[in-house]
Each structure stands twice: as structure tokens, then as C-alpha cells.
Amino acid sequence: MAPAAMADPVTARGSDRDGIARIVFTWPSPVPFVARVQNRQLVIQFARPAEGNFSGLARGLSKYIRAPRSQNGGRTLVFPLRGEFDLNYFSRGRTVVIEVVDPTPPPATAEKPAAAPKPTRQAATSSSTAKTPTTPVPAGAPPAKVSERVAVRTGEHPTYGRIVFDWKKRVEYKVAKQGNLATVTFQRPANIGIAPLNSNRLANIRGANAQIGSNSTVVGLSVASTSRLKHFRSGSKIVVDVLNPTGGNDAPPIAKLAPAAQVAVKSPEKPAEKPAGKPVAKTAASSQNAATKPATAKSGKGAPVALKPANVASTTAPAAASSPPSAPGNVQAVSLRLDWRAPVAAAVFRRAGNLWIIFDKPTKIDLAKLKAQGGNALRSIQQVPSNRATILRLRTVVGINPSLRRDGLAWIFDFKKQPLKSQTPIDVKSQPSSPAGARLFASVAESGGAIPLRDSEVGDNLVVVPVIPLAHGITRNFNYPQLNILPSAQGIVIKPNIDDLRVRSIQQGVELTASSKLVLTPLTTKVAANAKLGSIQSLSRIFKPDTWRKMRRQKPGEFYELRRAKLDELSQTTGAEKQKGRMGLALFLFGNGYGYEANGVLKVIKATNPDIESNRQYRLLRGATDFLMGRYDEALKILKHPSLDDTDESKYWRAAANVAAGEDVLNAAQFMSDKGSIFRPYPRAIKMELGMLTTEAAIIIGDIKAGAKYLGVLAEEDPKLNEIDQLALLEGMLKQLSGDFTGAITAWEEVEKGEHRPSKANAVILRSDLLLSMRKIKEKDAIENLEKLRFAWRGGGFEFALLRKLGRLYLDVGDYPNGLRTLRAAASYFRGNPDAGAVTQEMT
């Protein structure tokens, strides 16, 4: 386990029910994670180290798992499995849920039936009018001997959310929708794993439930009233697409929509007047609804009755939906989207229970639409009048806060149970002796104008400076005699204590001065050093920096002469000295970018001494040469060895291979960005390749400051022409991330004039996507741009992604023949691509 000082305390509990072993991890705060089954092992990777007693899980779930092993400093838990199992996983706030599913569990046994109340005259009359007597089956009470399990997969797409029901055999089905309720009826009873539909993975679905009858299964979905449904069959699988709503997303939680949903199924031949022997529902609301209002079948065999909300007045026990709105556990994650036609800066902060969202351009907001999007997470939303800005004041359920993201020019706020904090701190410096006089300076690019704000609830005035760079804010209070700077998730919030405070946005940041002169105390050398101490971390290495010193000083034309000298020296040595010389030669070849040649030397070393695999230097160099050759999977196999778990350098190379291979990208990118200084002492050939990948990793996680720093380091290496194109491509991506869209487009236009073909092709795609999102070009213009790339760069993941993007654009403009033809080419040319199956489904 990781040391307590570094790890989060995590509790874990397990339960076994109906062939599903559920493991629940509770963290102090939300954590990114991924889980997979590999080589009969359950592998769970967390973004942060976990500390806790996880061995007890194996005792309670001994049919499924063995005692776990902790790896990677507590970030990875490995549970050996006792058989072949399926896997489900999702998260809710700070809770991570892992489900190990037995694909062939023992038949379920029905609960002991209880005598039902005597039916009312109305119920008896209704039953007698039906052609087939029916008995209602409450939610969650499947009949006995239902052993078939159906997994559910989900996928989020730009214009729709996709649900795939993985039936093993062909099944008849039908789809219906009424208001917010969509129903999918399968003509066979089965246990449908709807957990992914209740884990907030799809924005268009607010939950699901499933009911099993004697010869059918009905899945109910809560969707927006304006969403349309598309569905089709793919082999034995059933695919349902929920299209984005044309209006607000008014889908209620599934518990509100149909807490006591029932399915009418054909019963054995019994008189309709004696519905005794009904199964007891598992919830009070279900039981009472079933007893007081039996359903009747008016259609064919196993036909569903419309799922309706329970009659609250007729129940004595409160329904789940009646929980107070202040309970964050009952709140679904929601997203608010605000679209703009031009770049705008934003500020987000909390004060006195209110959440403030402020933009530096004025517009009228459709509050009803936002309230519908916010669901039960928002208690109220108001727009404060302003001629200079758009000011929104929100009240949310306690503990519910937004994280921020952007889609083109749109700002998107994802609300869930989480702390409100910035991802990138804005640095505030005290400058008592600046040429402009005593001032405070907040270093942030692309800041908006200062906006005065009256906080009527607190009774004071604020000055708010929105900024364009995403998730740039103030992490703590800065208190001075004449002003206070308040914490924020985005932007800068100032509370003046004097009347002559001046707040001015300049090119490099935000300047705070006063005509009466700010009273500031300069930092002493000791205080400044201590302030920086927290951000400076020593990096542990396997190869000391001076290992590469000679290679870094090597002139471009000296390689062949130096290699010849090393080979001559090697030919005159024997025994252990020869092995040492070979290792030096392998390092020399690797440092100069000759991965294949270095790999050949390493194989000779191993053939002479098989035990060399236990040497950490040898193992790291083997993994690094595989990486250099583009053999990322092979590199990962070597670099994941436990002997390489305890140094930053080896874990950095492992993260680089993960990012390049597309495996656990977010966590790996975060590590690369945090430990990016690892690549700085390397010889130029390695430094440039790793440095560009590290810059890309910083872009992936949205760390603009780190990305710009690494890009600056690479620019000092006197880059070659093709490297200039690659650096300019990254520069454009950083500018787009920071909100400088014009600068991004200019950078990519320069790349398109360059020599590096992969960068040129990527620049065309990035520029077209950005211009399309800004509505500067139309879909037909984007198609024309991308069509030219089909002959500029062929093969690999790039061509697959290009064909898929082109196919979607053709479909968007209504050119279905070209769209289907292009998607068919992507699916048939790249059958080994993991997303090829999804492309096939998009063609229907």
C-alpha cells in the first residue's frame, strides 16, 4: 500500500446477490478510474493512491475473487478471479462501484408469495373484460428460473446516445415512447444489466428500470420529451439510439417517472376474481400500487401496460422521489450548456450559498431552458441585470458543484457532487517596487474586462474579472489591508476595502493598483524560497543525467566516427568488460535515435547473460527502445514489471507508452505532465520525441501552463524543419485550449504550408473542426477540405478517423450515398480497429 501521507483513505465493502458480486469503494472525493478483466484477473486502476484494508473483500466474495495485490504505489488493485466472469463498473460522486458478474448464475428463486388483498369491484370488473386474465408483476420481482443475462453497453455520440443490448440469441422486440417514458419490450424473460443506464454515462437518459414477466422483459427509459428514438438489429444485438432533444432536457429521474412500473403478463388459468398468490414487491410503493391497481392486458401475449407514476395519495409509505431536494445523494448529474457566437471569458465562484457564473459579454439567457437542463440539482436560477456582462446567480443542492469544459465556443458546466475548484491556479504576485508603482499582479492570458458586481445578500461590492483559459482560478484567499482576492473556480474575484482601487486587464494578466498606493510588503529571500519549495520535486531516475552528457554535446556529423570507435573498442574486450561495452553501445545507439540497432545489441546482451533481465537499467532500456520503434504494446509489457515501480523515470516511460498506445490515457497523461522534466537531460533525438508527447499529454488534461513550458523547452533545441511543423501543430492546440482561436487557426495554416505530412494532415482536420464550430465555414466546406486528405495520408488510425468524420459530415448534409459509402470503407478497410463495429452500426 502507498504511504499514508500520499494515499487517500478508502473504505470498501462487498455484497453477493443473484450472481453479481458488487464491490463499492468510497473515496474522500471523486476519483477517475478504469477497470478491466485481464488474464483471469480483475484490474482496477485509480488516478490516486488508495489506502485501506481490501483483503476482507475476498473473504466475503470468495466465490468470485481472491485476496488482492496493490501495485503502482496503491493506484492499482489486482484481484485474481476464481472463474470466467463479466464486468460492470461505474461511479457516483465519490463512490466507485465494480460488479463482477457470473454469466451463468443459478436460477433465481421467487420470493415466498403472500396473500393479496381482496380486489376492488373496479379491479375485478376490469379484469373480467380482458380476453386474457393477467397478474401484475411488480418491478424487481422476476419469475423463477430466469437464468439468461443480457449485458448492456452505452456510447455517447455528438448527436445521440447509444444503448446496445447484447442478446446472445435473436429476440423479437418493439420500442415505444410516450412523453418522457420510452419502453423497449423484448419477447423473452431475461435479467438485463441496466447498471450502465443508471450511472449518468448518457446525457440523454435519466435512468432506467426493468421488469421481467413470464415470457417478456420491459426496459423503461427516462428521456427528454423532444428526443426521438432510432432502433435497429445488429446480428442478435438490439441497438437503441436516443437522439439529442430539440428543446430542453426535461427528463425526470426514472424513480419519479415510474417508481412502481408494472408489466402485464399472462397468468396461469385462474379466475380473474381471485388474484391471490401475487408475488410481494420489494418496495412498499411497488407493493401497494400492485395491490390497489392491478393491470389488465388489452393487447397480445405478454404485452406491456403503459408505465405510470404511482398514485401518491393511495400509498402510506413515502416514495423514493419524495426525498427532500437538499439530499445530494438523490441528485442526478446534469450539464448546463451556454452557446456563444464569439469567444467569451467566464468567471465562476461561490459566495454566501450562491453560485455565480459571469461572462464578459451581455446577452439574454433562456432561464427556463437552463432550469430544465438542471433538473433537481438546481433550486433556483436568476439573471442579474447588467449592460456590460451576463451575470447568473444560482442556488444548488448542498454539495453539488460544476466542473467546467468547452465545446468550441460553448461553455459547459457539469454539475455533480464534487468540490468547486480550479484546475490551474492563477499566480498572484506582490510587486511593491514595480515601475507602475506598488501593485498586485495576477498572471493569466486572455483576461476580460473588470465587471462591478453588487452582492445584495452580503451587502457589499465586488469586482470580477472573467478569463478565457479554461479552469484558471484562484485557489485560496489573498488578504491585504486594502482588498481581498477570493477563491474561484474560474476567473478573479476582488473585494475592495477602499474606494480608489483600480483593476485593469493588460496583455500579460490583471493589474491591481490604487491612487492612494497599495500597502504591500516585499517577500524576503527565505519566504520566497519556501513558497517555491512546494512546487519543486526531486525526480528519481535509473539513468543519472550525466549518463547522456557526452551525447548531448555530440555534433551532428560525429555519430558514425564515434560508433566505429565504440565497435573497435568492443572487439578488443572480453568477459564482463565486453558486456559492459555492449551496454554502453546500446545506450549510445538509443540516445542517437537508433532504436532497432540498440534493440539488436540488447538481444545479444541477453543471449550471453539471460539473468540480465533482473537489471533495472537493462529492463528500462529494453522498454524504451521498443517505444522508440513504435512497439508500444511490447514496451508496456516490459515497463509494467514491478521492479520499475519505484522511480519517476521508469513510471514516466510507462506513462508515455500508455499514452502512445491509447491505454489509460488520462491517468498516464496526468503523470507525464506532472513529471515532464524527466525528458530534459536526454539527448536531442530522444528529448524531441518525448518532449512533444509530453506537451500533447499536458494538452490532453488541459494544463496550458505546463504545455507552454514544455513547448518552450523544445523550441530551444534548434528544431529542424519537420520538427517546426510538429511544434507549430502543438502550439495551435495550446492556443485553442486557452481560447485564442484566431491564433490557433493561424498556427495551423502555417503547418499546412510545411513539410511534415502527418502534421499537415492533422492541421487541416483541426482547423476545419474549429472553423465549423465557430460557424465560419459550412459542412460542405469542411467536406471539401477533408476529401483532399484522403490522398495526402493513408493508413492507420488517422485514415480510419478521417473516413468516419467524412461519413458523418456527408450524412449531416443529407448526402446519404456518399456518407454510407465512406462509412462502409472505414468499416471494411479497418476491421481490426476497435471502433469498426460502431461504424457499422452508424450506417443503419
3-state secondary structure 804-821: HHHHHHHHHCCCHHHHHH
Same-domain pairing of 499 and 640: no
Residue 332 lies in a domain: no
More confident residue, 391 or 137: 391
Residue 552 lies in a domain: no
Q: How far apart are CA 182 and CA 179, in angstroms?
A: 8
Same-domain pairing of 221 and 284: yes
Q: How far apart are CA 416 and CA 803, in angstroms?
A: 36
Q: pLDDT tens digits for 809-828?
A: 988 888 888 889 888 888 88
Residue 201: band (very low, low, confident or very high) from pLDDT cuts 50, 70, 90 = low
> What are the backbone dihedrals phi and psi of residue 380, each rounded to the nearest 5 degrees, phi first?
-155, 160
Angle at alpha carbon of residue 284, lines to 282 and 288, rounded to 5°:
110
Same-domain pairing of 365 and 238: no
Same-domain pairing of 341 and 305: no
pLDDT at 108 over 80: no
In this structure, are residues 36 and 77 in contact, taking their beta carbons and an 8 Å threshold? no
- Structural domain harbouring 507: 337-524
CATH number of domain containing 658: 1.25.40.10
Same-domain pairing of 356 and 440: yes
In this structure, are residues 693 and 726 in contact, taking their beta carbons and an 8 Å threshold? no
Q: Is 532 exposed, middle or buried (0-12, 13-18, 19+ CB in 10 A)?
A: exposed
Q: Output the pLDDT for position 199.
A: 67
pLDDT at 85 over 90: no
Residue 548 lies in a domain: no
Over residues 339-354, mean pLDDT: 90
Q: Of 524, 550, 582, which marks where a domain is finished?
A: 524
Q: Which three cell numbers stand for residue 697?
A: 499529454
Residue 545 lies in a domain: no
Q: Of 524, 546, 569, which marks where a domain is finished?
A: 524
What end-to-end distance do the CA atoms of the chain give, in Å? 49
Same-domain pairing of 269 and 342: no
Residue 614 lies in a domain: no
Same-domain pairing of 170 and 253: yes
Q: How far apart are CA 296 and CA 122, in angstroms?
A: 12
Q: How many CA atoms lie within 13 A of 460 on its CB side?
A: 14
Same-domain pairing of 156 and 61: no
pLDDT at 598 over 80: yes
Residue 8: band (very low, low, confident or very high) from pLDDT cuts 50, 70, 90 = confident
In this structure, are residues 79 and 240 in contact, taking their beta carbons and an 8 Å threshold? no
Q: pLDDT tens digits for 759-789?
A: 998 999 899 888 887 888 888 898 988 888 8
Among 48-52, 287-291, 341-345, 461-465, the range of highest mean pLDDT: 461-465
Q: Of 524, 543, 567, which marks where a domain is finished?
A: 524
List alpha helices for 145-299, DSSP H.
254-257, 284-292
SS3 265: strand
Q: How many CA atoms lie within 13 A of 710 on its CB side?
A: 31
Find, among 659, 657, 600, the residue nearest to 627 by Cα: 657
> What are the backbone dihedrals phi and psi of residue 453, each rounded to the nearest 5 degrees, phi first?
-140, 130
CATH number of domain containing 41: 2.60.40.3500
Amino acid code (one letter) for 358? I
Residue 504 lies in a domain: yes
Q: Output the pLDDT for position 521.
A: 63
Q: pLDDT tens digits for 540-575?
A: 899 988 889 888 888 878 889 999 998 998 888 888
Q: Output the pLDDT for position 235.
A: 78
Q: How far apart are CA 222 and CA 254, in angstroms?
A: 5
Same-domain pairing of 146 and 288: yes
Residue 533 lies in a domain: no
pLDDT at 139 over 50: no
Size of the chain, expressed as the number of residues it contains: 844
In total, how many domains does the chain have?
Answer: 4
Same-domain pairing of 724 and 653: yes
Same-domain pairing of 263 and 390: no
| All residues at 6 or more sequence positions from 98 whose CB lies less than 8 Å from its CB, including other chains | 22, 23, 24, 25, 35, 42, 44, 87, 88, 89
Find, among 817, 792, 823, the residue nearest to 805 by Cα: 823
Q: How far apart are CA 37 and CA 45, in angstroms?
A: 12
More confident residue, 490 or 458: 490
List alpha helices for 259-351, DSSP H.
284-292
Residue 714 lies in a domain: yes
Same-domain pairing of 70 and 142: no
Find, among 6, 99, 10, the residue nearest to 54 by Cα: 10
SS3 652: helix
Amino acid code (one letter) for 71? Q
pLDDT at 148 over 50: yes
Q: Output the pLDDT for position 203.
A: 76
pLDDT at 221 over 80: yes
Q: How far apart are CA 21 and CA 412, in angstroms?
A: 36
More confident residue, 330 or 515: 515
